[in-house]
Amino acid sequence: MEATTLFTLSFLFLFFTTNYGVYASRGISILDKEPPAVLDLNGNELQKGQDYYLLPSILLPFLYTAAIIPGIYRPGTTWLQLEIEVFTYGIKGLPVTFSPTNLNEDASIHVSTYLNIKYSNELPPVFGESPVWKVLEGFEPFVTLGGAEEDRSSWFKIDKASEIDNRTYKLVSSSGRDVGISNRTYGTKRLALADEALSFYFKPAKDGLATSK
């Protein structure tokens, strides 16, 4: 009996030490229960591989709307920036998809788990680079296109941004910093790692035109 118990404990220890690094590197905890699912604007669970609009959750004047728009800064560098314009029916930007980097086979996207963000594969590569979002390494950590899914600079988490509204979220980089807004260049509001997070709603692209909330 003692030999059997010792063998079982040894097996469990070996399994834990062998797999812990694999799971941890992919944003999975084998000790904690599965985190809650991210909810879209309709209260439904966010689904991997589906198209969604990221709607900035900010206060705007009447008839003003906001969207995240890619803009070419120079050849080979496409920034992601916040555009605020006057549009009767709203601007929606381009839809993105979310793809978890972990081994979870669940079709839903969960908070605090690593994932890739990229523009739909159905969109033409007009920007001449990968549609995967990434954090640009350097003095100014802007969020740009041109990422690689296996690269940690292209890993983000979705975390809750409000305890009151369970549909409001923020993006967090793999370094643990929030994605917010940088206003450094000629008033352009670029996505970048910042001390203050920019909050988002996720609207299913199949719902049609997006409107500000």
pLDDT in tens, 29-50: 445 578 999 999 999 999 999 9
pLDDT in tens, 141-171: 999 888 999 999 999 999 999 888 889 999 9
Residue 62: the pLDDT is: 78
Q: How is residue 205 written in tokens?
A: 């692209």
Gyration radius (Cα) of the chain, Å = 20
Position 134 in a domain: yes
Q: Is 20 in contact with 32 (CB distance < 8 Å)?
A: no
Distances (CA, A) of 134 to 11, 62, 142, 175: 39, 33, 8, 12
Q: Is 169 in contact with 157 (CB distance < 8 Å)?
A: no
The total number of structural domains that make up the chain: 1
Element at 19 (helix H, strand E): helix 2-25
Range of the domain at 186: 36-207
Position 199 in a domain: yes
Position 49 in a domain: yes
Position 213 in a domain: no
pTM over 0.85: no
Residue percentage of the chain with pLDDT more than 70: 68
Position 133 in a domain: yes
pLDDT of 15 above 50: no
Identify the CATH number of the domain in which residue 50 sits: 2.80.10.50
Position 107 in a domain: yes
The four Cα atoms 29, 31, 34, 38 give a dihedral, to 10 degrees, of -40
pLDDT band at 22 (very low <50, low <70, confident <90, very high): very low
Q: Is 124 in contact with 130 (CB distance < 8 Å)?
A: no
Mean pLDDT for the chain overall = 78
Average pLDDT for 185-195: 82
Position 142 in a domain: yes
Q: Report the range out of 98-102, 116-120, 171-175 with the highest average pLDDT.
A: 171-175
Residue 59: the pLDDT is: 83
Average pLDDT for 4-26: 43
Residue 207: the pLDDT is: 80
Position 17 in a domain: no
Q: Which of 132, 164, 162 is nearest to 147 (CA)?
A: 132
Q: Which of 70, 174, 185, 192 is nearest to 120 (CA)?
A: 70
